[in-house]
Amino acid sequence: MNRTHQEIQEELTLWALGIAPDAPLPGLAEHLANCGECRRLVREVYETTGLLASAVKPVPPPEGLKEKILGRLGTEGQEVQQAGRSSTSVDRIHSLPREPGPRGPLPASHKTKRGQTEAVRRTPWTWLWGAAAAIFVFGLLWGNISLNRKVQRQEEEITAWVERYEADFRWLRSAEYLLVQESEPAFSALLAAPAEIPGIAPVGDPGSGAPTGKATIYTAYDDRFYLIVWVSGLLPGATYEVWAESAGAASRIASFAVDERGSGSVASPSEGQVAWTRVEVRGIDETVVLRGELRPGGLGPRGW
Amino acid sequence: MSSIPSRSPQEEEELVRRIALRDERALAELYDRYAPLLYSLAARMVGEGETAEEVLQDVFLSVWRSAGSWDASRSSLRAWLVAITRHRAIDALRRRERPAVPLAADLPSGAVGPDEAALSAVLSQEVRAALAELPPEFRQVLDTVYFAGLTHREAAERLGISQGTVKSRLRLALERLGRRLSARGYLR
């Protein structure tokens, strides 16, 4: 990071104020985790902004508002569920279609199209060519429009959750995973001696060039959870997948491309509490697997 | 109207713990205690009326859902609640893009009256005095970012200064405020 300490503190001030910064998140998060002075700063700014609210002109809350709020508590569970399903970008990003399996059943829409094709064969050739041309042109136009819409929607969703995350960053807990190559002999030793791991610095031996990394779960002040993974020492340009295990079942969280320096990162949000107990970074060809277990002791939730 | 904690941190922890256990009376107690402050802040940011009410509802429902995520060892309850309120108010402002009222309109015009001798008024007075001591350009930046909910980019544009200047003024302003309030025992 080529920024001065003062610049970092200015950006952390923006975070503590809840307004989105434009700085790379991993760098600042790492700095914050390792710099006591900046942690104090964030805390002081946070507390000061809490007091600053007292400067505003007092306005009494409307009558009946308290009863209205208390009246909503009973239905709150249902509302949360509905909000979780429809609201945010998060679930919609997770619900985006994944790559179809090679032997998976055809989606219903494909079957329908196939059925339509059978019917078309029984029509005269003129109708057939006309219909085919119309479908082709319509398909091109519609495909283009819907692709643009989809890309735009995804961009908006990603921007929205990144902004949300950055705003929430001022208040978080974290739990961590060490990610080391599966064959790394030091892995079990590291797990056995958590006290030897300084802060949340990357584990393993960065000088050796062996793939290493870490994963962190951040939780903001409500039910949003974020799994963030940083790795280094991987094959530049290669694609990797992040898998996480929860309640005994592993699922693919995201994929990412390694940059030219052999590093990569991914941030994945989730609505609702998720207890990931194991995180893996898998190469597509399975040449490198980084694996980390939740550390209940030395790398548990961290205070500022 | 704006209150400061007259309870000990332990009592506040207990109150939030009860909310986490779904004790509606505890939430009602929290409301009585903090709604005046939080509603005033919301009204200041989004204007009095329906939107401020919605913000306050969101805040207390959010607390109801996630009381367990507040950690007393990391921040005061007040700071946590104010942060949630600001966050919800900023969301509302983003949806409406409605500018907020300048802080200058809220600043006291005269001396403190005898009815303001209560503890909350003392804090309010202290904070206002601390604000009044800031150079006008610092106060302007705080006003634009904290109360009007603008990002530093938007604030730079509105005030006609660079983003870097906004950032440095913000940091210095909060540092000075924090120092003064800390010296008077308002920051732990």
Confidence of residue A72 (pLDDT cuts 50, 70, 90): confident
Query: Which member of A49, A167, A222 has the closest CB to residue B82?
Result: A49
pLDDT at B26 over 90: yes
The string of pLDDT tens digits covering residues A218-269 is 655 445 566 778 788 888 888 888 888 777 778 888 888 888 888 888 877 7
In chain B, the domains with their CATH numbers are 1-101 (1.10.1740.10), 116-188 (1.10.10.10)
Span of A60-69, A94-103, A161-170 with lowest mean pLDDT: A94-103
The pLDDT of residue A178 is 64
**CA distance linking residue A173 with residue A39, whole number of Å:** 13
ipTM over 0.95: no
DSSP secondary structure letter of residue B112: P
Number of H helices, E strands in chain B: 8, 0
Give DSSP secondary structure letters for A21-49.
--S-HHHHHHHHHH-HHHHHHHHHHHHHH
The pLDDT of residue A55 is 86
Q: Are B142 and B134 in contact (CB under 8 A)?
A: yes
SS3 B172: helix
- Contact residues, B window 147-166, toward A, CB-based 8 Å cutoff: 147, 149-153, 164
Nearest chain A CA: its distance from B33 CA (Å): 12
CB contact under 8 A, A52 and B127: yes
**CA distance linking residue A107 with residue A85, whole number of Å:** 23
CB contact under 8 A, B60 and A17: no
CB contact under 8 A, B1 and A223: no
In chain A, the domains with their CATH numbers are 5-52 (no CATH), 109-167 (no CATH), 173-293 (2.60.40)
Q: Please report residues of A whose CB lies closer than 8 A to that of B28.
A: 66, 70
Whether residue B14 lies within 8 A of chain A, CB to CB, comes out as: no
Order across the sheet with A289-293: list the strands: A249-257, A239-246, A276-283, A289-293, A173-181, A212-219, A224-232, A264-271
Nearest chain A CA: its distance from B40 CA (Å): 5
Query: Which member of B2, B57, B147 has the closest CB to residue A69?
Result: B57
Q: Which residue has the higher pLDDT, B140 or A151?
A: B140
The string of pLDDT tens digits covering residues A190-217 is 444 444 433 333 334 445 556 777 777 6
In angstroms, the first-to-last Cα distance of chain A is: 22
pLDDT at A75 over 80: no
**CA distance linking residue A233 with residue A210, whole number of Å:** 6
Give DSSP secondary structure letters for A170-216.
TS-EEEEEEEEETT-THHHHHHH-GGGS-TT---S-GGGT--EEEEE
Query: Which member of A10, A61, A80 has the closest CB to residue B65?
Result: A80
Query: Which of B106, B88, B78 lies closest to B46 in space, CA to CA?
Result: B88
pTM of the predicted structure, to 2 decimals: 0.53
The pLDDT of residue B43 is 93
Span of A123-132, A177-186, A192-201, B151-160 with lowest mean pLDDT: A192-201
Q: Which residue has the higher pLDDT, A122 or A175?
A: A175
The string of pLDDT tens digits covering residues B53-86 is 999 999 999 899 888 878 787 788 998 899 889 8
**CA distance linking residue A15 with residue A25, whole number of Å:** 11
Q: Please report residues of A whose CB lies closer than 8 A to that of B44.
A: 56-57, 59
The pLDDT of residue A11 is 78
Mean pLDDT of chain A: 63
Close Cβ partners of A36 (under 8 Å, ≥ 6 residues apart) = none
Q: Which residue has the higher pLDDT, A158 or B182?
A: B182
Confidence of residue A16 (pLDDT cuts 50, 70, 90): confident
Minimal-distance CA residue of chain B relative to A223: B66
**CA distance linking residue A88 with residue B126, whole number of Å:** 40
Amino acid at A297: G
Query: Which member of B43, B90, B153 has the closest CB to residue A59?
Result: B43
Identify from A19, A43, A217, A219 which residue to disrupt to test chain B contact, counting B C-beta atoms within 10 A and taking the largest count. Answer: A19
What distance lies between CA B3 and its chain's CA centroid? Answer: 11
SS3 B8: coil
- Percent of chain B whose pLDDT exceeds 70: 82
Whether residue B146 lies within 8 A of chain A, CB to CB, comes out as: yes
Query: Which member of B48, B175, B177 has the closest CB to residue A59?
Result: B48
Confidence of residue A1 (pLDDT cuts 50, 70, 90): very low
